[in-house]
Amino acid sequence: MACQRGDELMGLLSWVRRSLSLTDHQGWSLYGGSTWSGKAVTNDGALNLSAWFRGVRLYADVTGALPLKFYERLGNDDRVQVRDHPVAIITGQDPNLEQTTQEFWGAQAAALTISGNAFAEKKFISDRLVSLEPMPRDTCVDRENGALVYRFNDRGKAETLPAVKVFHTRGFHLGGDVGLSPLAYARQSLGLSLATEEATGKTFAQGMRASGFFTGPRLDPVQRADFKKTFIDPIVGNNAEAHYGILENGFDFKQVNMSPKDAEMLLSRRFNIEELARFLGVPPILLGHAQDGMTAWGSGVENIMLSWLTLGLNSFLTNIEKSVNKRLLRPEERIKYYAEFDRNALLQADSEARGEFISKMIQNAQMTPNEGRKKDNRSPMPGGDQLLINSTLIPLTSAGASRSLAPTTQTTPGPTP
């Protein structure tokens, strides 16, 4: 079976495809597919686009910054956090010798966003998992006798690993062994964006001057060279010595290119950002792009961000969580343990929302005052381990109990002696 990759649909030119073997991962990652715009799209080339770079980094930064916690299930749907389990140590504290958890999960999220797949090699001592080592984004997924195998190039050496030794997270897919690559499916839009940026750059490189032809009498080679030196060279480029010239002997200039205004260059650049945002599943406002009629502030933007957290980021994080539970835990452990990103950490930057959340949790007996103080990095206080309810913030166990009133004494003045 042919080796599958998340971005196998990049559409390399046929001569390139024939010249590359399945193990030539460097070649596959360096050559991009042809597009309608004529621009080859590669990973590095796509990241030169600010909208694409920002979208990929957004998923990487947010995922890497969130704590990935490990829990043990208890009775009555209760749970307790576990810190000494091998998987808890690797996923939440120390993935390998060279990376922090933020670096590791950020890189996994970036690979997942770009190619639809993220790979890491599982290292064992005996049967104990001791580290997760990053694997190339262009790792090939194959099958031998029906079993999954992973082929990649490790510092010039071809390696093949069985599925039991690979931590593979798949993105959106249609039932295959690999996730579908957003980079591959967005290649036409990426190619158009690259072409637009190139055209914009060339326009400014020529000092915003129109290109065209000089019409006039026929010149011999000496006259043609002299005309170019005298009238063309001084007005070409940003560092041109002159901006205006005099055409002699009936010469005229015929423009052949469209002006930036006529080409709607600015509108095209705006649309390209919105198109890439659709492929990334990110609202344009989070890429620093405000659509027509929208400001960068206000409750509307806040609702858009909450929508992305709910419909975009949440499913992205859930996919990673389930991959950890499926591929890092033994079958008998999956019933007892599970990993989960602490999404409440997203409130860290919003002190108002964070304070309101903690306040409501305490007032509705969902969290003790000391648990709330712990989330705010404050030390516990005596008496803060009881659940309270709103009313008069009495202990939950005292809710509904009658309270005795202190007796009152009324003094009646006696008769005047």
Which pLDDT band, with edges at 50, 70 and 90, does 406 fall under? Answer: very low
Cα distance between residue 321 and residue 108, in whole Å: 12
DSSP class of residue 260? Answer: T
Sign of the dihedral through C-alpha 48, 49, 50, 54 = negative
Give the pLDDT score at 12.
37
CA 284 vs CA 117, 185, 192, 314: distances in Å: 24, 19, 18, 18
Number of H helices, E strands in the chain: 14, 11
Q: Closest Cα partner for 63 from 345, 286, 405, 394?
A: 345
Give the pLDDT score at 68.
96
97-140, pLDDT tens digit by residue? 999 999 999 999 999 999 999 999 999 999 899 999 999 988 99
Top-ranked range on mean pLDDT: pick from 8-22, 245-259, 298-312, 359-373: 359-373
For 55-59, 223-227, 264-268, 385-389, which range has the lowest pLDDT when averaged over its residues? 264-268
CA 167 vs CA 64, 128, 133, 355: distances in Å: 17, 15, 9, 38
Cα distance between residue 334 and residue 330, in whole Å: 7
Planar angle of CA 345, 350, 354, nearest 5 degrees: 65
Q: Closest Cα partner for 115 from 90, 143, 152?
A: 152
Given a cut of 70, whether residue 306 has pLDDT beyond it is: yes
CA 74 vs CA 81, 323, 330, 336: distances in Å: 11, 22, 18, 8
For 149-153, 204-208, 217-221, 356-360, which range has the lowest pLDDT when averaged over its residues? 204-208
Continuous H helices in 281-341: 299-308, 314-327
Given a cut of 50, whether residue 77 has pLDDT beyond it is: yes
For the chain, the domains span 1-206+258-348, 212-256, 350-394
3-state secondary structure of 88: helix
Are 121 and 131 contacting, i.e. CB atoms less than 8 angstroms apart?
no
Are 277 and 55 contacting, i.e. CB atoms less than 8 angstroms apart?
yes
3-state secondary structure of 395: strand
315-338, pLDDT tens digit by residue? 999 999 999 999 999 999 999 999
Backbone angles phi, psi at 44, to 5 degrees: -65, -40
